[in-house]
């Protein structure tokens, strides 16, 4: 690769800055956080600077908010060897509505499948927009050409689109740290809100999730919300392609693994051993949150004590809950309930020498946390929903002597990677208690086999590979977009077409109707031509040097009605009918129409089997439209319908199945738009040929036209046409510029 780097600088936008500010006598001190994301970003930048990706001298820029940031904070004077910071200042009142409200009282519960906890409030939504705009304003101030802007998490889902509008060429990646729910859950957001979230995210070049399932949920929501075409993980928006993919976040494996042997951790382990040397140890560490399934975990443990009394006095459950939002009523009462359950279980089972649960409501130091991971025989990680859950991976990394067993909820993103854990459903108390017994009694050999496999994976796809992968995929996506853009009609190409137009004197235009001159409507008969478009076509056709052919799959009556006052040639039903200006329709094909009797009942069956679909019957063909149906379900039915039809038409050589934009059409007779166009060009020499269309049936036209023709596909799909143009208005502008 050339010496030019992939990107100049890395700019991160996340709700929180990677610093805490504390007051000192001299003013304030900024302490850098050491969380997974921060170390990943640091390592990413180090490695990319050494390699080919980032310019060496630039620091990473991080835009975000910080608690307790001093009022007189001066960004210019802020000194840190790794980061420059771009503080986003959000007033406490706005923050309460945006962060406490929209983000944490609506998106968090909804995306974690707790719809009944959601608070819907228009003020929250307005605040969400306002705060995202503040982030966008700050980014616009600081970004430069060549930057890679990486936006994180659910608080900032509108920023990608906002930024794209203001800096169209920016390279933008977005990563969601929490689950993306199924469409059935996502649709519980008011339509306007969910549309703005989907469009907000699609402003990025790449949207990353922890798992394949979350990615698929997102793509489904994109399809249902926007109708954009999606092939595999690529979404074709009107002006660019966007990649959605799974990037399971990892941990700094070596840091956790090595920490187990450091002195301070050893001394923490001694402290635990002093009191608990004779017991098998189970642990869990969770933030106080309903998504963590804390009560269910206690009930599972209680069930274990009830069912397996032989384990009494032999096992201790260290339950650590990290304080969070406990000034809010819902959290306060959850905490009370947990504490009374712990009290009840301990009250029931404790002896003078044994207490089954040691409960701590606090944050542990890093060393104390590692010691707990290292020394525990069982990790009980049982959230009801969790984007990933890093504690599970950290526990695996800390099993230096390979003796721990991980029990993991199937609802955590981590379960897809750590499938050698004992995977359980956290609502099933009995399954949880059996899993605890199994874990405590598992032989060393089995423990090692399971752990080794998990450790290998966690060590290999670690937080650095995660970040590298995201970075590289973004770069690849940019290349893909640029390849598409090469085919896009830009200013130079449109001028070239115009020059050719001006130099020619005998021209022909083949222009498709739906998706080329008019947008799609719920039903075909609603897609009538508007005045302005008709005027553009009329003007073009009125030029004596031009011949304009409207070439469509539509039936003849509809087309005639739209163009009755224009001096154009009409081709209906893909070439079945032809009408020269001021003449009557003629049919170009002779077929027997009885064939429809065998096909129509099948299509009717599919209308019944797939809600929202309908049949359009034309003279030479019948069409099954699925634009108003659920797109995934319609795809399934489409495959089945194709199979059923191929059975019927197996022996009929002149039958054809055509696939257009959300329509499957069956016709008898070998004709298509390409042949129709060629027959109209017979015996004439044109010095300017232009063909335009938007779907697969127009590909026949593009293929048939001579090499010198300007062929244009509207939209982003891959095509035989020479060029793509992103949407109808741009195409109309182009032909309107011809004089």
Q: Which residue numbers are catalytic?
A: 512
* Interior/surface letters 466-481, b for 16+ CB within 10 angstroms, e for the rest: bbbbbbebbbebbeeb
Q: How far is the CB of 322 from ligand GDG (least distance, A)?
A: 5
Token pair in block for residue 603: 């299509």
* Residue 569 Cα distances to 368, 546, 580, 671, angstroms: 81, 11, 5, 17
360 binds ligand GDG (CB under 6 A): no
Structure tokens given for 488: 């896009």
DSSP secondary structure of 44-95: HHHHHHHTTSB-TTPPEEEEEE-TT--TT--GGG---SSEEEEEPP--HHHH
Count of residues touching ligand GDG (by CB under 6 A) = 18
32 binds ligand GDG (CB under 6 A): no
Q: CA distances (Å), 593 to each of 385, 491, 667, in order?
A: 57, 48, 10
Q: How far is the CB of 385 from ligand GDG (least distance, A)?
A: 9
Q: Which of 10, 13, 30, 36 binds ligand GDG (CB under 6 A)?
A: 36
Instruction: Give the chain's count of helices (H) and strands (E).
Output: 25, 29
Binding positions for ligand GDG, 247-266, rule CB under 6 A: 249
Cβ closest to ligand GDG, residue 301 vs residue 395: 395
Min separation Cβ 325 and ligand GDG, Å: 12
- Residue 121, C-beta contacts closer than 8 angstroms, at least 6 positions apart: 97, 101, 102, 105, 106
Query: Smallest gap, in angstroms, from Cβ of residue 20 to ligand GDG?
Result: 13
Q: Does 390 bind ligand GDG (CB under 6 A)?
A: yes
CB of 397 to ligand GDG, least distance (A): 10
Q: 287-306 mask for ligand GDG (x: CB under 6 A)? A: x-------------------
DSSP letter, residue 99: I
Residue nearer to ligand GDG on the CB measure, 20 or 500:
20
Among 97, 391, 548, 566, binds ligand GDG (CB under 6 A): 391
Q: Which of residues 231-250 bind ligand GDG (CB under 6 A)?
A: 249
Check binding of 387 to ligand GDG (CB under 6 A): yes
Distance CA 262, CA 564 (A): 86
Check binding of 369 to ligand GDG (CB under 6 A).
yes
Alpha-carbon gap, residue 610 to 204, rounded angstroms = 33
728 interacts with ligand GDG by CB under 6 A: no
Q: How far is the CB of 190 from ligand GDG (least distance, A)?
A: 24
Give the residue with the Cβ less far from ligand GDG, 300 or 387. Answer: 387
312 CB neighbour count, 10 Å cutoff: 13
CA angle 317, 321, 324 (to 5 degrees): 170
Q: Which is nearer to ligand GDG, 251 or 704 (CB)?
A: 251
Least distance in angstroms from the C-beta of 257 to ligand GDG? 14
Question: Quick one: which segment of 267-275, 390-398, 524-532, 682-690 binds ligand GDG (CB under 6 A)?
Answer: 390-398
Query: Is residue 389 a contact point for ligand GDG (CB under 6 A)?
Result: yes
Residue 366 near ligand GDG by CB under 6 A: yes
- Residue 176: how many CB atoms within 10 A of its CB? 22
HSE-up (13 A, CA, CB side) for residue 441: 9
Under a CB-based contact definition with an 8 Å cutoff, are residues 477 and 205 in contact? yes
587 binds ligand GDG (CB under 6 A): no
State which of positions 170-229 bind ligand GDG (CB under 6 A).
177-178
Which stretch, 385-393, 501-509, 517-525, 623-631, contacts ligand GDG (CB under 6 A)? 385-393
Does position 325 interact with ligand GDG (CB under 6 A)? The reply is: no
Looking at the Cβ atoms of 204 and 369, the one nearer to ligand GDG is 369
Nearest approach, Cβ of residue 718 and ligand GDG (Å): 34
454 near ligand GDG, judged by CB under 6 A:
no
Q: Quick check: 285 binds ligand GDG (CB under 6 A)? A: yes
- Quote the least distance from Cβ 364 to ligand GDG, whole Å: 4
For residue 321, state whether it binds ligand GDG (rule: CB under 6 A).
no
Question: What is the signed CA dihedral for 473, 416, 44, 459, rounded to 10 degrees?
Answer: -130
Hunting for tokens 């020498």 — which residue is that?
353
Applying CB under 6 A, does 388 fall inside the site for ligand GDG? yes
Residues 6+ apart with CB under 8 A from 221: 180, 183, 186, 187, 194, 198
Judged by CB, which is closer to ligand GDG: 256, or 702? 256
Residue placing its CB nearer to ligand GDG in the complex, 241 or 388: 388
Count of residues for the chain?
739
C-alpha of 454 from chain center? 27
386 binds ligand GDG (CB under 6 A): yes
Cβ proximity to ligand GDG: between 212 and 231 the closer is: 212
Judged by CB, which is closer to ligand GDG: 282, or 549? 282
Binding range to ligand GDG, per CB under 6 A, among 66-74, 335-343, 389-397, 697-705: 389-397
In angstroms, give the least distance from the CB of 39 to ligand GDG: 10
In 3D space, the residue among 536, 544, 547 whose CA is nearest the CA of residue 509 turns out to be 547
Secondary structure of 613-675 as H, E, C letters: CEEEECCCEEEEECCCCCHHHHHHHHHHHHHHHHHHCCCCCCEEEEEECCEEEEEECCCCHHH
* Nearer to ligand GDG among residue 390 and residue 467 (C-beta): 390
Is residue 394 close enough to count as binding ligand GDG by CB under 6 A? yes
Distance CA 511, CA 563 (A): 13
| Residue of the chain from 364, 440, 534, 678 that contacts ligand GDG (CB under 6 A) | 364
Distances (CA, A) of 338 to 107, 319, 434: 24, 11, 22
Distance from C-alpha of 585 to C-alpha of 687, rounded to nearest angstrom = 27
DSSP calls for 211-257: SHHHHHHHHHHHHHHH--EEETTEEE-SS-EEEEEE------HHHHH
* Least distance to ligand GDG, CB of residue 382, Å: 13
Question: If binding is defined by CB under 6 A, does position 151 make contact with ligand GDG?
Answer: no
Q: How far is the CB of 320 from ligand GDG (least distance, A)?
A: 6
Interface segment toward ligand GDG; rule CB under 6 A; list 69-77, 225-233, 374-382, 383-391 = 383-391
Bridge partners of residue 660, in order along the sequence:
663
Rounded CA-CA distance 421/404 in Å is: 10
202 or 369: CB nearest ligand GDG: 369
Is residue 363 close enough to count as binding ligand GDG by CB under 6 A?
yes
Query: Which of 224, 355, 249 is CA-nearest to residue 632?
Result: 224
Q: Output b/e per residue, 101-118; b: 16+ Cβ within 10 A.
A: bbbbbbbbbbbbebeeee
User: Which window, 262-270, 359-367, 400-408, 495-503, contacts ligand GDG (CB under 6 A)?
Assistant: 359-367
Asked if 57 contacts 98 with a C-beta cutoff of 8 angstroms, the reply is no
* Binding stretches for ligand GDG (CB under 6 A): 36, 177-178, 249, 285, 287, 322, 363-364, 366, 369, 386-391, 394
């Amino acid at each position: 690769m050339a010496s030019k780097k992939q990107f100049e600088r890395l700019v991160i936008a996340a709700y929180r800055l990677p610093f805490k500010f504390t007051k000192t006598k001299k003013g304030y001190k900024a302490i850098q956080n050491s969380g997974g994301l921060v170390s990943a970003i640091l390592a990413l930048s180090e490695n990319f600077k050494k390699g080919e990706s980032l310019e060496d001298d630039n620091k990473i820029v991080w835009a975000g908010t910080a608690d307790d940031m001093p009022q007189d904070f001066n960004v210019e004077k802020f000194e840190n060897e790794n980061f420059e910071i771009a503080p986003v200042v959000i007033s406490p009142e706005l923050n309460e509505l945006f962060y406490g409200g929209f983000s944490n009282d609506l998106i968090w519960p909804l995306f974690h499948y707790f719809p009944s906890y959601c608070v819907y409030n228009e003020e929250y939504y307005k605040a969400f927009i306002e705060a995202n705009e503040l982030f966008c304003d700050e980014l616009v101030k600081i970004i430069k050409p060549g930057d890679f802007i990486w936006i994180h998490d659910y608080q900032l889902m509108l920023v990608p689109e906002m930024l794209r509008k203001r800096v169209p060429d920016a390279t933008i990646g977005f990563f969601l740290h929490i689950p993306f729910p199924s469409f059935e859950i996502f649709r519980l957001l008011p339509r306007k809100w969910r549309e703005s979230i989907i469009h907000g995210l699609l402003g990025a070049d790449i949207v990353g999730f922890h798992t394949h399932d979350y990615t698929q949920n997102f793509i489904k929501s994109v399809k249902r919300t926007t109708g954009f075409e999606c092939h595999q993980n690529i979404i074709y928006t009107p002006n660019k392609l966007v990649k959605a993919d799974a990037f399971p976040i990892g941990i700094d494996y070596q840091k956790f693994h090595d920490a187990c042997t450091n002195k301070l951790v050893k001394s923490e382990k001694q402290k635990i051993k002093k009191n608990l040397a004779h017991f098998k140890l189970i642990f869990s560490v969770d933030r106080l949150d309903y998504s963590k399934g804390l009560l269910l975990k206690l009930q599972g443990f209680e069930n274990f004590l009830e069912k397996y009394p032989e384990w009494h006095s032999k096992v201790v459950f260290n339950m650590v809950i990290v304080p969070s939002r406990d000034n809010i009523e819902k959290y306060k009462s959850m905490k009370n309930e947990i504490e009374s359950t712990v009290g009840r279980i301990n009250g029931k089972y404790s002896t003078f020498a044994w207490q089954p649960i040691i409960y701590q409501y606090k944050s542990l130091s890093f060393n104390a946390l590692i010691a707990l991971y290292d020394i525990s025989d069982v990790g009980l990680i049982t959230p009801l929903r969790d984007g990933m859950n890093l504690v599970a991976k950290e526990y695996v990394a800390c099993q230096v002597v390979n003796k721990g067993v991980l029990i993991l909820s199937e609802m955590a993103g981590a379960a897809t990677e750590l499938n050698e854990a004992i995977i359980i459903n956290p609502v099933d108390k009995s399954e949880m208690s059996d899993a605890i017994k199994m874990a405590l009694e598992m032989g060393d050999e089995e423990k090692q086999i399971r752990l080794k496999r998990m450790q290998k994976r966690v060590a290999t796809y670690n937080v650095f590979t995660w970040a590298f992968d995201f970075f590289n995929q973004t770069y690849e996506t940019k290349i893909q977009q640029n390849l598409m853009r090469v085919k896009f009609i830009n200013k130079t190409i449109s001028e070239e077409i115009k020059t050719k137009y001006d130099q020619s004197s005998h021209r022909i235009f083949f222009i498709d109707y739906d998706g080329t001159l008019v947008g799609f409507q719920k039903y075909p008969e609603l897609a009538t031509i508007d005045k302005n478009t008709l005027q553009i076509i009329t003007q073009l056709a009125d030029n004596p040097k031009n011949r304009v052919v409207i070439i469509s799959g539509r039936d003849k009556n509809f087309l005639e009605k739209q163009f009755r006052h224009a001096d154009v040639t009409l081709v209906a039903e893909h070439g079945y009918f032809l009408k020269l200006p001021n003449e009557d329709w003629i049919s170009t094909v002779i077929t027997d129409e009885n064939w429809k009797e065998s096909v129509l009942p099948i299509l009717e069956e599919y209308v019944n089997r797939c809600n929202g679909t309908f049949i359009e019957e034309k003279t030479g063909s019948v069409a099954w439209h699925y634009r108003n149906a659920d797109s995934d379900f319609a795809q399934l039915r489409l495959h089945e319908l194709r199979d059923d039809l191929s059975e019927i038409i197996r022996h009929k050589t002149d039958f054809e199945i055509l696939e257009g934009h959300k329509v499957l059409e069956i016709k008898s007779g070998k004709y298509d738009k390409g042949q129709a166009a060629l027959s109209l060009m017979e015996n004439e020499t044109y010095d300017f040929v232009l063909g335009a269309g938007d779907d697969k049936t127009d590909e026949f036209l593009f293929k048939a036209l001579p090499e010198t023709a300007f062929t244009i596909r509207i939209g982003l799909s891959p095509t035989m046409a020479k060029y793509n143009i992103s949407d109808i208005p741009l195409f109309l502008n182009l032909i309107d510029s011809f004089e």
